Amino acid sequence: MWRHVAANALTFLTVALFLLAGLVTWGVSQYSAPGPLAQAICLRVAPGANFREVSEDLGQKGAVAHPTILRLGADYADRTADLKQGSFLIPEAASMQEITDIVTGDGASTCGTEIVYRIGVARTLAQVRELDPATGDYDERAEFEPLSDAPVPAAYEQVKAQPDTTFRVVVAEGVTSWQVAQSLDAIDVLDGDGTPIPPEGRLAPDSYAIRPGDSVADLLARMQAAQDAALAEAWEARAQDLPFDTPEQALALASIVEKETAIPEERAVVASVLVNRLRQGMRLQFDPTIIYGITRGQGLLDRPIRQSDIDGVTERRLHGEVAYNTYVLDGLPAGPIANPGRAAIQAAVNPAATDYRYFVADGTGGHAFAATLEEHQRNVARWREIEARQAEEAEAADPEPADGSN
């Protein structure tokens, strides 16, 4: 009898182990298989939340079919203690393993709301944006200029206080160091006021993730380190026989390229015009150098360029010398006239192989290039015709003066 009982017990144990092995195999396959989520969602993990709460929330949202398996899988992988707070994008059909990786990763929010501070040539904007997980696009909720006296939108204050909001500073190509320093000082989530202005050209235009409480000085140091690296990399791979000798001169040339064109495919061609002029001993004669000579990068010139500006009279009167006006100077200006981006720096040290010495706007947003003065004069004449036609069209569309006078 006991032998019979033992045999039955062994049979039951074998079946139980077989079923348990099957259950484990099924659970592992469920953990790594594509999930049921039909459309991407934003998952918010609140401060202090635990993995049980998160798994149940995911179950209610239809992202996982078996919250218990998610918890067991995360626990087996020893990841439950790594749960991060924030808002995370859970993509369509994400597996439980992928979801675990997302919510226990580096902690950077990938969904929800963000505040972006855009430092541009003409103005600085703060934008409050929210990601639509279904489309991957951001919807703007508010926008204002931190350097203005306009009231700060309530949506900004609300989003700024949320623990899972992300923050970025985006610096456009062609801004000056003064503009960057002034704008950063006006961003209320950064610490620092009256930060010294970094040398012109030494800040890398890029997107920088920030956190409330970061210092302006530290952020500027990050920008300078990035620009130093970009310049060193480009200088190492420079073309031979360039008509300048130092990375600093390359940076000055790159800044002129940056101010003269915003079209990527034109940068190397514009650089070739500068290089060809330098090689032939021609003055560069570029208007942005006149403007920088007058303003030293501190604001925009709010009037047209005058003949006295071209002659260097204004720069001498304001600063006692002509250091940037390439209509008066031979060779490159005393230094950069803005902060060029990586592409402009690379174009400056690897210009296109052309015989161009001139260019002028062509009416399409780009430029018409010429090797001879005669060809350039024809291009200028065409541009004047385009300008006159555009003025006539504008007058026909709005014949009344803006102030309503006659």
Q: What domain count does the chain have?
A: 3
Q: Are residues 349 and 334 part of one domain?
A: yes
State the CATH number of the domain containing residue 70: 3.30.1490.480
Q: Are residues 92 and 181 part of one domain?
A: no
Q: Are residues 85 and 39 part of one domain?
A: yes
- Amino acid type, 305: I
List the domain range (segments joined by +) for residue 75.
31-111
The C-alpha atoms of residue 395 and residue 78 are separated, in whole angstroms, by: 71
The C-alpha atoms of residue 195 and residue 203 are separated, in whole angstroms, by: 14
- Amino acid type, 99: I
Alpha-carbon torsion angle 299, 302, 308, 314, nearest 10: -30
Specify which residues 130 forms β-bridges with: 113, 139
8 Å CB contact between 141 and 129 = yes
The C-alpha atoms of residue 264 and residue 257 are separated, in whole angstroms, by: 11
18: its two tokens: 């077989």
Report if residue 290 sits inside a domain.
yes
pTM of the model: 0.80
Report if residue 255 sits inside a domain.
yes
Residue 205, pLDDT score: 97
Q: Which of 53, 77, 111 is the last residue of a domain?
A: 111
Q: Which of 209, 231, 253 is the last residue of a domain?
A: 231
77: Cβ contacts below 8 Å, ≥ 6 apart: 100
8 Å CB contact between 274 and 256 = yes
8 Å CB contact between 73 and 100 = yes
What is the three-state SS of 112-146?
CEEEEEEECCCCEEEEEEEEECCCCEEEEEEEECC
Ordered per-residue pLDDT tens for the chain, 406 residues: 555 555 555 566 665 555 556 655 765 677 888 888 888 888 888 878 898 988 898 888 888 888 888 888 888 788 888 888 778 888 889 898 888 998 888 766 777 789 999 999 999 999 999 888 877 777 888 999 999 988 999 999 999 998 878 899 999 999 999 999 999 999 999 998 778 899 999 999 999 999 999 999 999 999 999 999 999 999 999 999 999 999 999 999 999 999 999 999 999 999 999 999 999 999 999 999 999 999 999 989 989 999 999 999 999 999 999 999 999 999 999 999 999 999 999 999 999 999 999 999 988 889 999 999 999 999 999 999 988 888 888 778 776 554 443 3
Report if residue 287 sits inside a domain.
yes
Report if residue 300 sits inside a domain.
yes
- Inter-CA distances, 216 with 207, 213, 223, 233, Å: 15, 9, 11, 26
Q: Are residues 250 and 180 part of one domain?
A: no
Q: Is beta strand 358-361 parallel, antiparallel or unpaired with respect to 367-370?
A: antiparallel
Report if residue 12 sits inside a domain.
no
